[in-house]
Amino acid sequence: MPKEINKANFDPEVLKSPEPVLLDFWAPWCGPCRRMAPILDEIEKDLTGKLKVGKCNVDENPELANQFKVMSIPSLMVFKGGQVVEKIVGLTPKPELLQVLKKHVSL
């Protein structure tokens, strides 16, 4: 289960993470976000120890959504070394997501 990311734990969990972080900006009322959840669960399980997966509820954390210019959800961002290195917007199939992650994580 991806870790819930909020303003309080964003710095240590995302920016200072030793491994890359896939952060899902989502909301409970968003249908595509709900369909994305099982894909993220699988990716987290498949890449344990290589990639951290987190979820940030945009309704509860509007300041983080604004900071990263989230305009539509789901928005997935890959953070590496405290920087956003990839941004994927919309429901994304697992194979396509793995292709993007392969650039940043040794699969």
Region label for 90, one of left (φ > 0), alpha (ψ between -120 and 50) or beta (otherwise)? left
pLDDT at residue number 28: 97
In this structure, is residue 105 part of a structural domain?
no
Tell me what pLDDT residue 64 has. Answer: 97
Domain count, the chain: 1
Q: Residue 101, by phi and psi: left (phi above 0), alpha (psi -120 to 50) or beta?
A: alpha
- Residue found under tokens 């249908």: 31
Q: Is residue 9 part of a domain?
A: yes
59 occurs within a structural domain:
yes
Q: What is the pTM of this model?
A: 0.96
Q: Is the distance from CB of 87 to CB of 77 less than 8 angstroms?
A: yes
- Cα–Cα distance for residue pair 107/46, rounded to 1 Å: 9
pLDDT of amino acid 30: 98
> What's the domain range around 29?
3-97
Angle between helices 31-46 and 94-101 (to 10 degrees): 50
Residue 39 one-letter amino acid: I
Positions annotated as catalytic residues are 30, 33
User: Is 73 domain-assigned?
Assistant: yes
CATH number of the domain that 36 lies in?
3.40.30.10
**What average pLDDT values come out for the chain (107 residues) when binned by 10 residues?**
95 96 98 97 95 98 97 98 96 96 88
